[in-house]
Structure 1
Amino acid sequence: MKLTSLLQFAIVGLVSVGTAYSQAKLVEKVTRKGNELVIPYEKYVLPNGLTVVVHEDHSDPIVHVDVTYHVGSAREEIGKSGFAHFFEHMMFQGSDHVADDEHFKIVTASGGTLNGSTNRDRTNYYETLPSNQLERALWLEADRMGFLLDAVTQKKFEIQRATVKNERGQNYDNRPYGLAGEYIAKNLYPYGHPYSWLTIGYVEDLNRVDVNDLKNFFLRWYGPNNAVLTVGGDVTPQQVLALANKYFGTIPRGPEVTKTIVPAVVLEKDRYVSYEDNVRFPMLQIAYPTVPNYHPDEPALDALAEILGGGRTSLFYKNLVKTQFAVQANAGHPTTELAGQFALSVLPFPGKRIDSTQALIRRTMAEFEKRGVTDDDMAQFRATRETQLIQGLSSVSGKVSQLAAYQTFLGNPNYLPQELKRLQSVTKEDVMRVYNQYIKGKNAVILTVYPKGKPETVTTPDNYTISTAGYKAPDYGYAGLKYNKPKDSFDRSVKPGPGPNPALKVPPFWNDKLANGIKVIGTRNDEVPTVTMLFTIKGGHLHSANDPGKAGIAQLTASMMNEATQNFTSEQLSQKLDKLGSDISIRASTEEINISVESLVKNLDSTLALLEEKLLRPRFSAEDFDRLKKQQIELVANQSTQPVVIANKAYNKLLYGAGNIRAVPVSGTTRTVESITLDDVKAFYQKYLSPTVTNLVIVGDVEQKAVMSKLAFLNKWAAKPVTVPTAAVTRKVDKTRLYLIDKEQAAQSEIRIGYLTDLPYDATGDYYRASLANYMLGGAFNSRINMNLREDKGFTYGARSGFASTHTPGPFTAQAGVKAAATDSSVVEFVKEMTRYAKSGITPEELDFVKSSLGQSDALRYETSLQKAFFLNRIIDYNLPKNFVEQQSDILRKITKAEIDAIAKKRLPVNNMIITVVGNKQRIKPSLEKLGYEIVELDKEGDPVGTSANQKGNEAPPAKMSGGKGE
């Protein structure tokens, strides 16, 4: 649907609608006429209090279903933190009529995707499916709303408790700066405040709760009167309402839920707090208490954050990043239902003092007061936020999520026009007023995260101790709750079948070519008034194969192209782009340099003029080069603090061999980046960036002829011959070994198991068939690997496997982050599942699942502009036939169990794989030694322990081996 329309808002009143859904009361109907930004919908309320919002959009044959409950971690009690999120996990563990782990299986087999999320104020559950699966989705959601508790068992409870602990370990405890938010929350808000703990909760609280606590939580908060069912896509309101009445209408109303009211946070003094972390850069974060979301002052505070630290035109960037004082400096204003915070965050380079950082921040604030707010500041803010609102409507899921949020927190799904009006009406005076009211001279929480072993980084001692004085626990009304199941006139155990298959809409596309050799592919997408362009310049990091001592130069060149041009400074370019609501980003990857362009249709000409500057006239100034080179060297060094990066680097080096450029990260190494000069960057740009190796994808509300005429400037780009290195990869693994990398005090271990295949990417050959074979092993949520390690054992937050090839053969990899105590057991289970699959193959039931799931999922693949762009990019990159999707469908339909079994047997050589483990060696090595593998210890660069500095980067003999039995 186009967003070229006027709002027609009709309050229809509490009148009944047709006989098929006569219980539902139509509250309001919003349609669109003209050019106002609005999401059309109809809103109903069932007698049990369930609000139903329906958005009709027939542009794609899909439906998105969202059930949002107005309960998050803010409804928890002291000592029971993390419960709302824990309960979200339990909602996927089956109900009376849906067996254990069947929710994921049913939706995935229907060609859909699903998930849930919890934040401070709400929990939502959602599915995107082909539109003929609507009834099945509503049946599933209603069953867990009305029939959950008898299916909750102690075993399920324990497994999901372990999974949540793993999630905390992966996303908080084992991640640099992962606990910063927790420290801010518990020190900014009073003891017992609903926001004084994070949604993930504390491990000791998770250990404390029992299954009865969980059941009471469900009975208190999960009633239909505390929920919003929002459905959007290729549906009609009549269709949705009839099914909503059938499946949700008999669910009894739950206890009443009232809005939480808390006083505004007031700090009596600056609260200095700190903690030690395994990081390279210290971090200073300053958090001021502000206002909740939808407060009248929220947009002005958002604008203030953009001006101070929102991008390259911000004062923080100018004074802290541009001056090479900090690697990163920004400001933000996150808000939620009960409160907000204005956060300033700076990562100074190692050796910079925290008191110097604070002094720079104070000087920057003083400069802002003197400078004031400019007209350009406001134009940039308004344009950027308007574009963000429009882009959020590019998918049915985006529109449904917005409607659900507005209804949950405001009772008004039609808040979008008012949101836009709020943004457009913010004045310069408003911004200065909120600065004086909430920031200037006000107290804040001032957090320092200091590198391990460097407590001297903290220049102001901690001065705040959390006090429990005055706290009174709220009575949330858990006493006397009873479980009342719905009483129906139909059999809920009968799983609804799908409706008629929707017509699949593979986007029609056109091809063209510019005079200098750029290949162009595009499609019209008129659902939102935007244009997406993706340039792919082949080569990227691979060109460093010609000069390995300069590895990292592709990334440094791309970074330089994001800076000043011959006619504009980088700040001027950013300002122009922000005022247009546009974005131009240049990035390097292993095989490409990518340029992405996002623009509103009305601003495309102006955006392309700036693209011409960036692509054809980069300035390559010495000042920019010095700063970006220093940042890249520091970021390379910082990788040694991140377990995921350590594991990936070591695994790639083992796969390809230290002499292969694919074994070196795109960022390079400290040594290689140090060797790069400005002349090297200029030469790389001149030698390797050419239209002869460039593809361009265009998706948007533009016609081929019109957009091609706008691209004439690209013919100024002179063509030159470029050869992309294609060195053959022949590295083989003689036997399975385990490579261990020590990550001191790591809460989790990162595991990578795999080998380098001989399969390049192809869309309809052996690679595609191998991907089909892997889907049941480790490609789907309910694959064997994930169900074993996550759902059955509780070892991990998620485990998967897959093939990853491009024009050259890539690896097969099975991977997960697992709790440290289960490292050895996880390796065993990975190998066991691969061995069993290679030996016995797929079951007939699993094969049916693969065909059903992948056969119907095409309906979801081409909805948004970005999805269409990636689809077209694959066609042009691999020169695929126009009907390759139909060819894939035919292969999928005809593939047999015997074919899958043969692929599994051939492609899972468990005796010739690389096992890489990054974790706390002191804790995990003794148990790993018992597995019988030869163990090779590596350092954080992926080199054998004991390798001298001048040997790094070359093949070296293994050192410090233990075990030795082999497989």
Structure 2
Amino acid sequence: MKKLNLTVWLCVCIFTWAQAQTKLVEKVTRKGNELLIPYEKYVLPNGLTVIVHEDHSDPVVHVDVTYHVGSAREEVGKSGFAHFFEHMMFQGSDHVADEEHFKIVSEAGGTLNGTTNRDRTNYFETLPSNQLETALWLEADRMGFLLDAVTQKKFEIQRATVKNERGQNYDNRPYGLVSEYTSKHLYPYGHPYSWLTIGYLEDLDRSNLDDLKNFFLRWYGPNNAVLTIGGDVNTKDVIKLVEKYFGPIAKGPEVKPTRLPAPVLAQDRYISYEDNIRFPMLRMVYPAVPNYHPDEAPLDLLAEILGQGKNSILYKNLTLTQKAVQANASNPASELAGEFTFTILPYPGQTLDSMEAIIRQSLLEFEKRGVTDDDLNRFKASYEAGTINSLSAVAGKVSQLAQYQTFTGDPNYMVKDMKRHMAITKEDVMRVYTKYLKGKKAVILSVLPKGQNLTAAAPDNHKISTDNYNAPEYGYEGLKYAKAKDNFDRSKRPAPGKNPVVDVPPFWTDTFENGIKVIGAKNNEIPTVTMLFTIEGGHNLSAFDPSKAGIASLTASLMNEDTETYTAEEMSNQLEKLGSSISISSGPENTVVVVQSLVKNLDATLKLLEERLYRPKFAQDDFERLKKQQLEGIANQNTQPTVIASKVYNKLLFGESSIRAVPMSGTETTVKSITLDDVKNFYKSYFSPTVTNLVIVGDMEQNQVMPKLAFLNKWEKKDVKLPELSPNKSIDKTKIYLVDKEKAPQSEIRMGYVAMPYDATEEYYKSGIMNYILGGAFNSRINLNLREDKGYTYGARSFFSGTKLAGPYTASAGVRGNATDSAVVEFVKEITNFRNSGITQEELAFTKNSIGQRDALNYETGYDKASFLSRIIQYNLDKDFVKKQNEILKNITKEEIDALAKKHLPIEKMNILVVGDKASVKPGLEKLGYEVVELDFEGNLITPQVAPAPAEPASEAPAGAASPATEKKKKKKS
């Protein structure tokens, strides 16, 4: 007993010593309206850097752990480890069971995720502020107590999940391998940027559990991590909790910065590959500079001048001339290198060598043109506005602090970042152009559509050489796993603090004389204003004339172009110099106008809004160009499995006669029939204040902003009749519909039926509660089965999606091709079991806790508030509807949930759609007991080829032929 007490005493001493050694490195505070993020920075004895930002505006906390390890710490033959470990870090640790991480955070009303790039991996949670200790306990447990929980079974399942992710995001996606090809030909063999973060499948196949564990031991120590906490917290309390949970974790091996020389190209490297695409692609990549290099910001501005926005040289030379669907330039930079990149998607009929020639001519044009004052002003104003907007949420501020600390060692680098961008001169831009582009060599990639015999920009001339490659010595030998010694019981999950009081944000309402309904709220966290106009109608208006489907989308696109006073380029120039934006887009049931502005520039922005709303020019040349783009986009849809799935699924649900079965872009036939006069008449007939709602969120009071909007009273009232849509198509029995996407490595699955319209407090809302544990949460039955248990998919889900119209209930996933039939079986099994057996009491408690505590996150940002207000005005909701929802959630019973499942999960009357490789998936689907119906990419029935009917038999059958009677006997026998 005395020995035990002595041990405890020693642990306490060690722990107290660790606490005493925590160092406050710096404290940064804001003076006046200075643009910075206040914080305190500490370092624990084990090397963990801790940054705390207090923000008491909302009762939320965001916790981020950034490890300075990405794919750049990998080596040849072992790619993808950093990303693989991102998955493994969610698979449980000593004191947190498998899948519990997601469950605990979700049940606490929070959200979480992890991301990996070339240079870092981060894990983060946003939670109600009373759950801070839970978040720190979870993150500390996987930092210090992970490896014993990493089993071979989990390893195999997550390897399958990563393969599915690669299939979904790279191998089965048009242009998905572009970066892989350019990277491996830009960088020397063995350079850690020469492969994608997700790695190669063959490397994942050859890796084993010990490889993965060694990777963790080498790079995931506290001395290679930054823990950043922001939100409604007290810094002193935070540091005590960090010392408790992270302090005992042992320091890891030393991690030294990586420095590699920029790649040197002796000649242009031409490479090519074929893909399942409509538009060929030309990509030119020049070696550039790393992140935070002095030349990075001038290169960013150079990219904007050359190929970003309507004032760029490539837009003028390629987009306006209708030679390219897309033409842009960018300057992505990472820790070790940068890549100045041109990307061109030419229209059919254009050649890739001609695209290369135009890029080179455009560079010469820039040399003569130089840099203008407007170039500088646009870039600086946009950068300032972007920086301000990034501070709207505590998650954004925490992420910035973590990134700056990880890569510069200075969390306050945002101030320096702003200064270096504001200090750019014309001479800086011309200097970096000369240094990195003029006369320099590039990797030039041609991506060619399969089966079209198109020619690359030039013949391939580069082969990867392994000469002079020396594998890095990262120090994996002799690594040992040593767990922390604690003076508390780490297995006990911390109890949450007192629930924060979350109030629905106060809002005001108003109405213009011409009928525009207005709802607004003040948000004084950043000096910006967001306005959201919703004009009812949208794509559904084509129900009046289905032969013109796609007109709403085309009209919205044209309204972003010339006005009577400004060309599109002039309008763009004015907006960018203000750091503002005005965008118009069309959706299924409405057209949306989004306005974003700094408060100081709102008056000037609203003058431009008035011009865009009231005086669109609808010029013939703009019409022809945008109509061509829309038609090419329609033709391109059939290269994308997810788009094919959505298009065919809607046709199955709503029926061929419904406008809801037609894509918003229309069809080739309908868009070809649209004339400029049709567009003008559509605008004249359907854009009216009588069907318009306006949401305003920003750092202004009602009496400040409403007078500025007086011009809206000039908008002429029109009586707009909205269409009554045809009844939805009924489903007699469940069938499988198969669309052949030849040789697709994955299959897209959609299954469901048309359910019900949205309501906030009745059956639709209650059914959303019912579906949460079935397919709404990450740890839902469907996702845990198909992703975590079976490894069939990167993610599977189910959801209701009603609006004012009845919308579908859908279960969906992209699954591994060879698991297609098995995935369908599991979907059906989970839905059937849930309908028949209902929810468990434990699941019901989880659902209530998870949904009930989310309010703290629902109203944090201006965008969150705008979405909330938009729902109120769109559906004419009572002011206390949130209170009613909370009462429903609190009181809903297992019996009610079970009854809703029986009513709204009619598994025997759902459409099951599979878009995949027919040759490999059809045999398995045919064994499931459903009728399998083949459809084409448009959802049309493919009629099986039937042999010609035999002639009437003669009195004697021809020699060697069987009589009809004999044939019948044979069939019966078989």
TM-score, with structure 2 as normaliser: 0.95
What CA distance in whole angstroms lies between the structure 2 residues aligned with 1:325 and 1:251? 59
The amino acid across from 1:220 in the alignment is R
What CA distance in whole angstroms lies between the structure 2 residues aligned with 1:129 and 1:743? 42
Of 282, 285, 294, which aligns to 2:283? 285
1:743-792 CA distances to partner (integer Å, 9 max, x unpaired)?
Answer: 111110000000011x2110000000000000000000000000000000
Deviation at 1:729, TM superposition (A): 2.4
- Change over 3 Å in CA distance of 1:124–1:656 after alignment to 2: same
Of 863, 885, 889, which aligns to 2:886? 889
Q: Is 1:837 equivalent to 2:834 in the alignment?
A: yes
Q: Which residue of 2 aligns with 1:54?
A: 52
Task: Give yes or no for contact 2:693–2:873 (8 Å, CA) kept in 1.
Answer: yes
1:782-839 CA distances to partner (integer Å, 9 max, x unpaired)?
Answer: 0000000000000000000010000111110000000000000000000000000000
For structure 2, the 5+ residue unaligned runs are 1-14, 946-974
Deviation at 1:458, TM superposition (A): 1.2
Task: Give yes or no for contact 1:784–1:833 (8 Å, CA) kept in 2.
Answer: yes
Task: Give yes or no for contact 2:18–2:44 (8 Å, CA) kept in 1.
Answer: no
- Change over 3 Å in CA distance of 1:753–1:895 after alignment to 2: same
What CA distance in whole angstroms lies between the structure 2 residues aligned with 1:279 and 1:514? 49
Of 777, 781, 788, which aligns to 1:780? 777
Q: Which residue of 2 aligns with 1:536?
A: 534
Q: Is 1:799 equivalent to 2:796 in the alignment?
A: yes
Task: Give yes or no for contact 2:735–2:911 (8 Å, CA) kept in 1.
Answer: yes
The amino acid across from 2:812 in the alignment is Q
What CA distance in whole angstroms lies between the structure 2 residues aligned with 1:459 and 1:574? 32
Matches within 5 A, 1:244-393: 244-393=242-391
1:492-530 CA distances to partner (integer Å, 9 max, x unpaired)?
Answer: 000001000011032100000111110000000000010
The amino acid across from 1:509 in the alignment is F
Query: SS state of the match for residue 485, structure 2?
Result: coil
Q: Is 1:859 equivalent to 2:856 in the alignment?
A: yes
What CA distance in whole angstroms lies between the structure 1 residues aligned with 2:830 and 2:92? 24
Deviation at 1:456, TM superposition (A): 2.9
What CA distance in whole angstroms lies between the structure 2 residues aligned with 1:59 and 1:667? 42
Matches within 5 A, 1:374-773: 374-757=372-755, 759-773=756-770
What CA distance in whole angstroms lies between the structure 1 residues aligned with 2:460 and 2:74? 28
What CA distance in whole angstroms lies between the structure 2 residues aligned with 1:726 and 1:837? 35
Task: Give yes or no for contact 2:356–2:457 (8 Å, CA) kept in 1.
Answer: no
Query: SS state of the match for residue 863, structure 2?
Result: helix
What CA distance in whole angstroms lies between the structure 2 residues aligned with 1:507 and 1:725? 34
What CA distance in whole angstroms lies between the structure 2 residues aligned with 1:131 and 1:730? 45
What CA distance in whole angstroms lies between the structure 1 residues aligned with 2:327 and 2:292? 27
What CA distance in whole angstroms lies between the structure 2 residues aligned with 1:68 and 1:234? 21
Deviation at 1:728, TM superposition (A): 4.5
1:438-484 CA distances to partner (integer Å, 9 max, x unpaired)?
Answer: 00110000000010113433141000000000000000000000000
The amino acid across from 2:526 in the alignment is V
Q: Which residue of 2 aligns with 1:958?
A: none
4+ residue runs over 3 A deviation? 17-23
Query: SS state of the match for residue 32, structure 1?
Result: coil
Task: Give yes or no for contact 1:929–1:935 (8 Å, CA) kept in 2.
Answer: yes
Matches within 5 A, 1:120-269: 120-269=118-267
- Between 359-368 and 530-539, report the one with greater CA deviation: 359-368
Q: Which residue of 1 aligns with 2:806?
A: 809
Deviation at 1:942, TM superposition (A): 1.2
1:617-641 CA distances to partner (integer Å, 9 max, x unpaired)?
Answer: 0000000000000000000110000
- Change over 3 Å in CA distance of 1:20–1:461 after alignment to 2: closer
Deviation at 1:225, TM superposition (A): 0.4
What CA distance in whole angstroms lies between the structure 1 residues aligned with 2:868 and 2:265? 52
Query: SS state of the match for residue 913, structure 2?
Result: strand
TM-score, with structure 1 as normaliser: 0.96
What CA distance in whole angstroms lies between the structure 2 residues aligned with 1:22 and 1:126? 27
1:313-336 CA distances to partner (integer Å, 9 max, x unpaired)?
Answer: 101001100000000100000000
Query: SS state of the match for residue 265, structure 1?
Result: coil
Percent identity of the aligned residues? Answer: 68
What CA distance in whole angstroms lies between the structure 2 residues aligned with 1:927 and 1:496? 48
Task: Give yes or no for contact 2:658–2:726 (8 Å, CA) kept in 1.
Answer: no
Task: Give yes or no for contact 2:446–2:457 (8 Å, CA) kept in 1.
Answer: no
1:154-209 CA distances to partner (integer Å, 9 max, x unpaired)?
Answer: 00000000000000000000100000010011010000001000101000000010
What CA distance in whole angstroms lies between the structure 2 residues aligned with 1:590 and 1:611? 23
Deviation at 1:35, TM superposition (A): 2.2
Q: Which residue of 2 aligns with 1:928?
A: 925
Task: Give yes or no for contact 2:653–2:728 (8 Å, CA) kept in 1.
Answer: no
Query: SS state of the match for residue 456, structure 1?
Result: coil
Task: Give yes or no for contact 2:786–2:826 (8 Å, CA) kept in 1.
Answer: yes
The amino acid across from 1:335 in the alignment is A
Q: Is 1:42 equivalent to 2:47 in the alignment?
A: no
What CA distance in whole angstroms lies between the structure 2 residues aligned with 1:702 and 1:20? 48
Q: How many residues align structurally? A: 931
What CA distance in whole angstroms lies between the structure 2 residues aligned with 1:919 and 1:419? 47
1:558-592 CA distances to partner (integer Å, 9 max, x unpaired)?
Answer: 00000000000000000001100101000000000
Q: Which residue of 1 aligns with 2:895?
A: 898
Deviation at 1:19, TM superposition (A): 11
Deviation at 1:726, TM superposition (A): 2.6
What CA distance in whole angstroms lies between the structure 2 residues aligned with 1:300 and 1:515? 49
Query: SS state of the match for residue 484, structure 2?
Result: coil
Q: Which residue of 1 aligns with 2:948?
A: none
1:101-123 CA distances to partner (integer Å, 9 max, x unpaired)?
Answer: 10000000000000000000000
Task: Give yes or no for contact 2:183–2:193 (8 Å, CA) kept in 1.
Answer: yes
What CA distance in whole angstroms lies between the structure 2 residues aligned with 1:811 and 1:554? 23
Task: Give yes or no for contact 1:20–1:242 (8 Å, CA) kept in 2.
Answer: no
1:379-417 CA distances to partner (integer Å, 9 max, x unpaired)?
Answer: 001111111111111000000000000001111000011
What CA distance in whole angstroms lies between the structure 1 residues aligned with 2:510 and 2:355? 53
Deviation at 1:742, TM superposition (A): 0.6
Matches within 5 A, 1:16-165: 21-165=19-163
Deviation at 1:730, TM superposition (A): 3.5
What CA distance in whole angstroms lies between the structure 1 residues aligned with 2:33 and 2:395? 22
What CA distance in whole angstroms lies between the structure 2 residues aligned with 1:459 and 1:697? 49
For structure 1, the 5+ residue unaligned runs are 1-16, 949-967
Query: SS state of the match for residue 909, structure 2?
Result: coil
Task: Give yes or no for contact 1:282–1:457 (8 Å, CA) kept in 2.
Answer: no
What CA distance in whole angstroms lies between the structure 2 residues aligned with 1:276 and 1:793? 32
The amino acid across from 2:775 in the alignment is G
What CA distance in whole angstroms lies between the structure 2 residues aligned with 1:728 and 1:418? 59
1:825-881 CA distances to partner (integer Å, 9 max, x unpaired)?
Answer: 000000000000000000000000000000001100111111110100000000001
